[in-house]
Structure 1
């Protein structure tokens, strides 16, 4: 394996591009498949926003629903300053779900994008060494 692609379904591609460019300080690099997918750069992996209308069938034959939902997979975005990142994301239209909170290793805040997806900002102060245990 050589590459990681992050794919995120959204109901309105232009609105999602505008949000992620502004909230995470990303840049749109290209549109693919006739303009139905936007590629965004600025993270360690490319983020692909894929326009999929609400109600279309997703995995497990479930219709897509962009109301706020929980999922076991989400984005953790490592930032230098959680408070500044939260302010930028809120100005772009994010919802703050968990205000910045101190932890022994740094600061974390939980947010949601306008399309129902959750994400966190993480500011490492001590790095992974503080939370690491030996592999089994």
Structure 2
């Protein structure tokens, strides 16, 4: 299986700049004015320009206000504080305090288009600290 990540945004140049600065991604292929491939993660991230209130799926319309979705992206980093600082300077918003657990540290962020993100720093054996297998 191959995984591709697609993120709808209303402003492609602003989203490309934000994600490149926040997470160190670089532009790959461009798809006219409607999309760009970002590289540097384990899977390519495709930013797709779609206007607010356009049809997304079935009867749902795109809303770029802060929203919750059962699918979100975690960005695993070596050191949380420098990564958080870079993300905030790029335009992300911090939504909670840094939280620590025996598996690592985490902080929630939101981008200007309502998408949720987490920065994650594994400690010790990471998720293996809590795995029951």
Q: TM-score range by the shorter chain?
A: over 0.9
Partner of 2:109, secondary structure, is: strand
Equivalent residue in structure 2 for 1:40, among 38, 41, 45: 38
CA deviation string 1:70-119 (max 9, x = no partner): 00100001000111111101001111001211111111000001110000
Q: What is the root-mean-square deviation of aligned Cα atoms in Å?
A: 0.9
**Who is 2:6 aligned against?**
7
Distance 1:60 1:67 in 2: 19
After superposing on structure 2, the runs of 4+ consecutive aligned residues of structure 1 that deviate more than 3 Å are none
Q: TM-score, normalised by structure 1?
A: 0.93
Q: TM-score, normalised by structure 2?
A: 0.95
Ranges in structure 2 where 5+ consecutive residues have no aligned partner: none
Question: Between Structure 1 and Structure 2, how many residues are aligned?
Answer: 132
Equivalent residue in structure 2 for 1:119, among 117, 120, 124: 117
Partner of 1:119, secondary structure, is: strand
Q: Is the Cα contact below 8 Å between 1:27 and 1:42 reproduced in 2?
A: yes
**Who is 1:128 aligned against?**
127
Ranges in structure 1 where 5+ consecutive residues have no aligned partner: none
Distance 1:35 1:11 in 2: 12
**Who is 1:57 aligned against?**
55
